[in-house]
Amino acid sequence: MALSLRYAKPKRNFLKEASIMNSGDTAWVLTASALVLLMTIPGLAFFYGGLVRRKNVLSILMQCFIIVCVISLQWVLFGYSLAFGPDFHGIIGTLEWAGLAGVGAAPNSNYAATIPHSAFMIFQAMFAIITPALIIGAYAERVKFPAFLLFTVLWATFVYDPLAHWVWGAGGWLKSLGGLDFAGGIVVHVSSGISALVLALLLGKRIGYNHKPIRPHNLPFTVLGAALLWFGWFGFNAGSALAADGLAATAFVNTNTATAAAGLAWALIEWRHNGSPTILGAATGAVAGLVAITPACGFVNPMNAMLIGIIVAFVCYAAVAVMKGKLGYDDSLDAFGVHGVGGTVGTLLTGIFAQKAINPAGADGLLFGNLHTFGIQCLMLVVTVVFAAIMTFIIFKIVDAAIGMRVEEKNEIIGLDLTQQSEAAYTVIE
Amino acid sequence: MKLVIAIIQPHKLEAVKRELEAVEVNLMTVTNVLGQGRQKGVTEIYRGAREAGGLLNKVRLDIAVNEDFVEPTIDAVTRGAHTGSVGDGKIFVVELAQCIRISSGERGGLAIG
């Protein structure tokens, strides 16, 4: 079965030809959509906003906010049709559903048979929004606003929409291979994380960056953002069951368990390694746990969810606190270190810990004697990494030639708030 | 006229103010400042990276006094801020060329008190 198992829910179809609407399912998916919006604004906006210097906080909030505006419209105009519209040779959706033509109150049994098609569409819109927003962490504090806008629209259209079609769209070529990605570990986190790394390498370091994080200007913002991400992620993961049912509850429990384990593990690791448990560490660990459990949450048991949280804390800590410093690239807010690495860990561990006893529509992983699933997970990863990296490289070159991706040195030193938006976050004197 | 500049531990501000009021020195300007002395700042850790030499929070008092009040002021600040360990702070005393009260136009010693 396919990656898109979350959309293939035959259980109620036998009642009457795929058009039995369920008010509980509809209510939950609409609620979950709002929860996923909360992840981007204010969740991610404050998580990232607190980590930058005070002269750049508004640029982060603006980028997150405008992505919500821009991608919401892109999705309605043509994005949803490209990703989920009628298939064209497994590669892309056609433009038949552009402007949401034919996407209305009637369910689409290819995706979710018990809720309005428009509910499925808006739930997916929130995923399309947060994915390019995650990349902000890589180019924070040094990107031109118009370049950011153009990059975001091109990336959403030429990376996210095709990838979403391959993995989730009816007829997508990866969908038939039989990998497991419950809520977007590959499409959302690996794709954005890898693109973040490519951008950080192409864009170069921030002025003054010297292998060490630049001091966060407001850690309470960051913790507030992380907590809102945790809260909203229940919509992201449990909502991906696309029904108010047992599978949604399983995903909910696994999400909370893995996140708690990763937050605690990260704090303990740095306590041992650096002498103090920090709140930034606990919050970062929790986000890494959320990322890693995303592909797995509908397929594993709670004890293995806990294990996934602990493992991802170790791997992401190594990536962020050890590897990044040694390699010297400036992934400003660790978009790659947390989302790219965490998404990869989660995708691989799903291939190990998945079990049919938890989700009969899923598959057994390596731990339950099935090598095939693990192989497919690896293949999906390679395809996503190569595709996202190459496309990001091309889009960067186009935008850089057209507008110039990076701000002038003088403007970077003054700060993006004043030079890109002509406003300041904090007044010092009345 | 002298300007007494005292750099003290932030949590000692209330005690220093009490001591100053006891010797009838009531006028002062207080600011938050950052600094480091013999204790060499603090070490901070962000996502696993240690950063030594972060500056410490201190409070600075600017107190303008007439000659008679210089020693009582120094004594009062010392009584309030002293713990005996590094980090207690410092007191600087500098000559004050002029002092003008804006509301009345008074100058010199009259304007200070």
pLDDT digits (tens, 9 = 90+) for A246-290: 999 999 999 999 999 999 999 999 999 999 999 999 999 999 999
CA distance B49 to chain A (A): 6
What does pLDDT average to over chain B? Answer: 92
The predicted complex's ipTM stands at 0.72
Query: From the CA atom positions of chain B, what is the Rg in Å?
Result: 17
State how far the Cα of A139 lies from the Cα of A342, in Å rounded to an integer: 19
State how far the Cα of A281 lies from the Cα of A269, in Å rounded to an integer: 9
Residue B49 scores a pLDDT above 90: no
Contact call for B47 and A274, based on CB within 8 A: no
Beta-sheet pairing, B89-95 with B42-46: unpaired
Counted residue by residue, chain A has a size of 430
A141 touches A135 (CB < 8 A): no
Contact call for A213 and B47, based on CB within 8 A: yes
CATH classification at residue B38: 3.30.70.120
> How much is the pTM?
0.89
Q: Which helix (H) or strand (E) holds B58?
A: strand B56-65
Q: Quick one: average pLDDT of B72-77?
A: 97
State how far the Cα of A85 lies from the Cα of A161, in Å rounded to an integer: 10
Point out the residues of chain A with pLDDT beneath 70.
1-19, 211-213
| φ and ψ at residue A112, rounded to 5 degrees | -155, 115
Residue B63 scores a pLDDT above 70: yes
A237 touches A258 (CB < 8 A): no
Beta-sheet pairing, A92-93 with B2-8: unpaired
Burial of A363 (0-12, 13-18, 19+ CB in 10 A): buried
Contact call for A273 and B48, based on CB within 8 A: yes
- Per-residue tokens: A351: 């291939």
Q: Across the interface, which of A216, A273, A322 has its CB nearest the CB of B46?
A: A216
A39 touches A134 (CB < 8 A): no
- Residue B88: give the domain boundaries: 2-112
Contact call for B49 and A280, based on CB within 8 A: no
Q: Where are the domains of chain A?
A: 3-420
Over residues A327-383, the pLDDT tens digits come to 889 999 999 999 999 999 999 999 999 999 999 999 999 999 999 999 999 999 999
User: Residue B47: its chain A contacts at CB < 8 A?
Assistant: 213, 280-281, 284, 320-321, 334
A274 and chain B in contact, CB less than 8 A? yes
- Per-residue tokens: A172: 């997508």
State how far the Cα of A361 lies from the Cα of A104, in Å rounded to an integer: 27
Class of domain A3-420: mainly alpha
Contact call for B47 and A284, based on CB within 8 A: yes
Q: Which residues contact A122 (CB under 8 A, 6 or more apart)?
A: A30, A33
Structural domain count, chain B: 1
